[in-house]
């Protein structure tokens, strides 16, 4: 049997002697490493804990708007967990040319909540709302699957100056989610933002930091999961931890296909969800590029096309089991960055837990026991790690060039508008706001377009070196060679 070549970091020259001798675990890229069962299970569960709230929020919001009973809401939530697990399998394990085969968790995209609520509001018979939504998601998923290889060609427009900006925006855009969790589960409630809730979030944050600082090995890697467990226990005396969902949940429950009725196809809903699919594909592309940098396996055009196929196929299949549109979860990128566990099989194990939770509502309810403030404390670490990874990528972005500084500055500003001024786009049409209210999408588009204008169109015009970017034009002008045409950089 021929020996397999040893793993070498991308961009390095393989050692001819590496082909001698048997293959050892050290020869396997960390992304393809299979960890011991216990470690794989606990770290996989940690991924589930990090993204659980994001998966269950859309079905709870949409289901409540329709007026579903508590039992139907539980069913819809379990269905979304089940389909998130299937989509995660597609993304991590892959089949044929489907799946990025990176440690990606997939779940219900929050970008679809607003248009789905619009469908609910415009539907006279609320019993038809979910079938109309499911029909639109199926069409959007199929069209996205067809468009995936063409969409992936945008990879050449994502150099470090773009990817670093987008990764930073992903982390920053997720921080309000963590801050919202830290304040409590119900905005406007009497205890929302109370010292009790913020204190629990702070305690959880401190626990995670202490575990990361003073432990080693496996314990250090699952610091977030341990922080969630300890934080939940600490919250019990404060009356924040609610074990009611466990007692009320059924032991077994399968998401019966088309439980809410056969899909219906309405043009307006299809157009709206297709726009969401474009937004989702844009964010997934940015997420794959971010994760590729973090795990030291840069995502190329082929990887992005395969990843987008997994996203879109998972979305197209999801309504069969009463789930919504699926997309990569950015918050789990922070978990990979922090724990340094890059194995896609760990995330696949998390997908397995999601499937089990979908089949066993009682198991799903165990994660629901974790108080929202505790999730918020852990979220600060997770989402902050994403932003830090973006800054690390920007270090490689040649920021001594004036044009690249402008690209980063303007793109960050555009991406931060929905966070800094949430009502900024209030006068725009609802369809436009689906895109504009996503800082990740708008910042990504801005970065790509600015990079195209400054670094691709008219490539003969080179960038100016920046000695002090915050100074006036005079400081920059001093770096020019006398007599040189304006717009051309001095040669040093």
Residue listed under structure tokens 């999801």: 318
Structure confidence by residue, pLDDT tens digits, 195-226: 999 999 999 999 999 998 998 766 776 787 78
Question: Strand, coil or helix: what is 108?
Answer: strand
Both 304 and 423 in one domain: the answer is no
Question: Strand, coil or helix: what is 149?
Answer: helix
Both 288 and 158 in one domain: the answer is yes
Both 355 and 402 in one domain: the answer is no
Both 149 and 248 in one domain: the answer is yes
Is residue 208 one of the residues assigned to a domain? no
Domain boundary among 352, 371, 390: 371
Is residue 212 one of the residues assigned to a domain? no
Q: Using an 8 Å Cβ cutoff, are 185 and 359 in contact?
A: no
- What is the phi-psi region of residue 102: left when phi exceeds 0, alpha when psi lies from -120 to 50, beta otherwise? beta
pLDDT at 158: 74
Structure confidence by residue, pLDDT tens digits, 172-181: 887 887 898 8
Is residue 352 one of the residues assigned to a domain? yes
pLDDT at 389: 75
pLDDT at 137: 94
pLDDT at 369: 77
Both 295 and 433 in one domain: the answer is no
Q: In degrees rounded to 5, what are phi and psi of residue 401?
A: -90, 130
Both 342 and 404 in one domain: the answer is no
pLDDT band of residue 318 (cuts 50, 70, 90) is very high
Residues near 474 by Cβ (< 8 Å), separated by ≥ 6? Answer: none
Burial status of residue 460 (CB atoms within 10 A of its CB: 0-12, 13-18, 19 or more): exposed
Is residue 246 one of the residues assigned to a domain? yes
Strand-strand pairing, 106-108 and 326-328: antiparallel
Print burial letters for 426-438: b (CB count within 10 Å at least 16), e (below 16). eeeeebebbbbbb
Is residue 217 one of the residues assigned to a domain? no
Q: What is the pTM of this model?
A: 0.66
Both 71 and 114 in one domain: the answer is yes
Both 276 and 147 in one domain: the answer is yes
Average pLDDT over residues 302-322: 93
Closest residue by Cα to residue 85 from 470, 365, 315, 353: 353
Both 414 and 350 in one domain: the answer is no
Is residue 79 one of the residues assigned to a domain? yes
Which residue range is the domain that position 449 belongs to?
A: 398-483
Is residue 382 one of the residues assigned to a domain? no
pLDDT band of residue 22 (cuts 50, 70, 90) is very low
Domain boundary among 336, 371, 406: 371
* Token pair belonging to 335: 């978990």
As for how many domains the chain has, the answer is 2
pLDDT at 464: 52
CA–CA separation, 149 and 286 (whole Å): 15
Both 57 and 150 in one domain: the answer is yes
Both 164 and 261 in one domain: the answer is yes
Both 300 and 436 in one domain: the answer is no
Domain boundary among 354, 371, 388: 371
Q: Is the pLDDT of residue 383 over 90?
A: no
Mean pLDDT lowest among 132-136, 148-152, 355-359, 439-443: 439-443
Is residue 389 one of the residues assigned to a domain? no
């Amino acid at each position: 049997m021929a020996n397999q070549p040893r793993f070498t970091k991308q961009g390095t020259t393989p050692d001819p002697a590496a082909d001698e001798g048997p293959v050892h675990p050290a020869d396997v890229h960390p992304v393809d490493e299979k960890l011991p069962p216990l470690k794989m299970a606990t770290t996989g569960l940690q991924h589930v804990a990090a993204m659980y709230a994001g998966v269950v929020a859309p079905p709870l919001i949409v289901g409540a708007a329709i007026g579903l009973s508590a039992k139907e809401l539980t069913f819809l939530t379990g269905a979304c967990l089940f389909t998130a697990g299937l989509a995660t399998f597609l993304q991590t394990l892959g089949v044929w040319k489907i799946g990025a085969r990176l440690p990606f968790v997939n779940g219900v995209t929050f970008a679809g909540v607003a248009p789905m609520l619009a469908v609910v509001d415009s539907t006279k018979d609320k019993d038809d709302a979910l079938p109309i939504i499911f029909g639109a998601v199926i069409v959007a998923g199929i069209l996205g699957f067809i468009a995936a290889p063409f969409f992936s060609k945008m990879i050449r427009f994502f150099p470090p100056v773009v990817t670093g900006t987008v990764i930073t925006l992903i982390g920053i855009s997720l921080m309000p989610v963590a801050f919202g969790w830290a304040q409590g589960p119900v905005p406007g409630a009497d205890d929302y933002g109370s010292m009790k809730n913020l204190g629990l979030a702070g305690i959880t944050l401190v626990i995670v930091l202490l575990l990361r600082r003073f432990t080693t090995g496996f314990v250090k890697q699952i610091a977030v999961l341990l922080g969630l467990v300890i934080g939940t226990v600490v919250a019990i005396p404060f009356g924040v931890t609610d074990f009611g969902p466990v007692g009320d949940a059924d032991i077994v429950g399968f998401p019966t296909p088309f439980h809410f009725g056969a899909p219906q196809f309405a043009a307006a809903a299809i157009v709206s969800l297709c726009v969401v699919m474009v937004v989702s594909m844009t964010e997934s592309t940015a997420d794959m590029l971010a994760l590729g940098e973090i795990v030291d396996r840069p995502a190329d055009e082929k990887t992005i096309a395969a990843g987008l196929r997994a996203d879109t196929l998972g979305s197209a299949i999801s309504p069969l089991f009463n789930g919504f549109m699926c997309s990569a979860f950015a918050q789990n990128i922070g978990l990979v960055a922090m724990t340094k566990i890059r194995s896609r099989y760990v995330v696949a194990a998390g997908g397995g837990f999601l499937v089990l939770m979908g089949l066993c509502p009682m198991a799903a309810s165990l994660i629901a026991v974790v108080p929202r403030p505790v999730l918020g404390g852990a979220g600060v670490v997770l989402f902050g790690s994403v932003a830090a990874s973006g800054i690390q990528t920007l270090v490689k972005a040649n920021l001594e060039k004036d044009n690249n500084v402008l690209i980063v500055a303007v793109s960050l500003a555009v991406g931060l508008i929905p966070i800094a001024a949430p009502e900024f786009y209030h006068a725009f049409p609802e369809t436009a706001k689906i895109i504009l209210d996503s800082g990740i999408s708008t910042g990504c588009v801005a970065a790509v377009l600015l990079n195209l204008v400054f670094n691709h169109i008219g490539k003969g015009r080179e960038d100016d070196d920046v000695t002090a970017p915050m100074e006036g034009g005079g400081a920059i002008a001093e770096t020019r060679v006398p007599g040189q045409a304006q717009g051309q950089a001095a040669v040093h």
